[in-house]
Amino acid sequence: MNPYVEKWLDRHTEDLSLWRRHIHANPELARQEYATTEFVAKHLRAAGLEPKVLPRGTGLICDLGPTGGPRIALRADMDALPMQEATGLPFESTVPGVSHVCGHDAHTTVVLGAGLALASMPELPIGVRLVFQPAEEVMPGGALDVVAAGGLDGVARIFALHCDPRLEAGKVGMRVGAITSAADTVELVLDSPGGHTSRPHLTGDLVYGLGAVITGLPGMLSRRIDPRTGTVMVWGAVSAGKAPNAIPRTGMLAGTVRTGDHDTWQLLEPMVREIVHGLLAPTGVSYELNYRRGVPPVVNDEVSARMFEDAIRATGPDALADTPQSGGGEDFSWYLEHVPGAMGRLGVWPGVGPELDIHQPTFDLDERALAVGVRVMTNLVLGAA
């Protein structure tokens, strides 16, 4: 462990909790993170750094260390979810219907702490860029805002941590390859002349068409795509009709299709359109298909993942943990379309009691994980030269 980092943590571990709790109590939705941006910028300026707010007014980047050479980027996301918190914590969200049950308060605190710890050192082996990103929770994601603003210019690699409530605090998960999945949305609106259920042959049976797509699209995708890619199609919403003896005129389906394979992600939209057309063409039901691409999978390249593993091991002999690929999406993947990098899983479970999942009203985390995250992020920089 680096003595400068440990000295900084001795002085500021309590501050990490205070910062996280302040952000937690004052959540802001995507692209509304004005106060959070100013909170982070204020602390960076106090350390003599010069943060630059992104053009939209939320999110910022901040460089430190040597200039002129490649930089290591450390990324945190800042936005909260449109969800009512139900933790009852003393620092529970003060904003009705908005909360940091996503863990982004911890992500922001960890990168802020890592940046300030690195700024306390007399010199760094490589340049560093802190990336505090807005709007991770909306598609296609605020990472694209950062890229468009030149946030990756001069960056050689980028790293991030994401809270994992299934890992105990003190452990950090890492894997080579896909660690999250691409996540696209499929919305299908069907139209038919409608009719009486006694005479389906005289109209397009819209409900029958819905049923054909509900079962047929996921089934055909499972036969057209290599199962090793982790591709899955699941419907989340369906509606049509009210009367049992009337064939409805309109109906709707909505769901998601996810994959852990980048090449498969490129093929999904045309394949979905082809299959839907084939399923509905014989029914006489017309339709409109809205396919919205979300984010690519986060694919940790091997070099970056090995750097991450070394940084984790340096925090303790038992800190490194395996982690499975998640079916969730993460817009950190957009950065990896431009530069290599990796995302790790920061354990936040206290080790006793239930594992409180993210994106749930009761989510909370063990704040001992904050110092672990700072150590890992600073180790990544100090070991990168």
Residue at token pair 């979300």: 294
Q: Any known ligand binding at 162?
A: yes
Tally Cβ neighbours within 10 Å of residue 227. Answer: 9
In whole angstroms, give the CA distance from residue 253 to residue 214. 8
Maximum C-alpha span of the chain: 83
Q: Any known ligand binding at 262?
A: no
In whole angstroms, give the CA distance from residue 217 to residue 208. 14
Token readout for 84 is 């009512």
Q: Which of 332, 308, 314, 302 is nearest to 384 (CA)?
A: 308
Residue at token pair 């945190």: 76
Q: Any known ligand binding at 104?
A: yes
Token readout for 133 is 């990103």
Q: 256: Cβ–Cβ under 8 A, 6 or more apart, which residues?
A: 183, 184, 185, 186, 233, 234, 236
Strand-pair partners of 161: 344
Contact 266, 303 (CB under 8 A): no
Report the SS3 class of residue 316: coil
Q: Which of 131, 1, 19, 9 is nearest to 64 (CA)?
A: 131
Q: Any known ligand binding at 359?
A: yes
Q: Any known ligand binding at 62?
A: no
In whole angstroms, give the CA distance from residue 385 to residue 379. 11
Contact 55, 149 (CB under 8 A): yes
Residues of each annotated binding site for Mn(2+): 102, 104, 137, 162, 359
Residues of each annotated binding site: 102, 104, 137, 162, 359
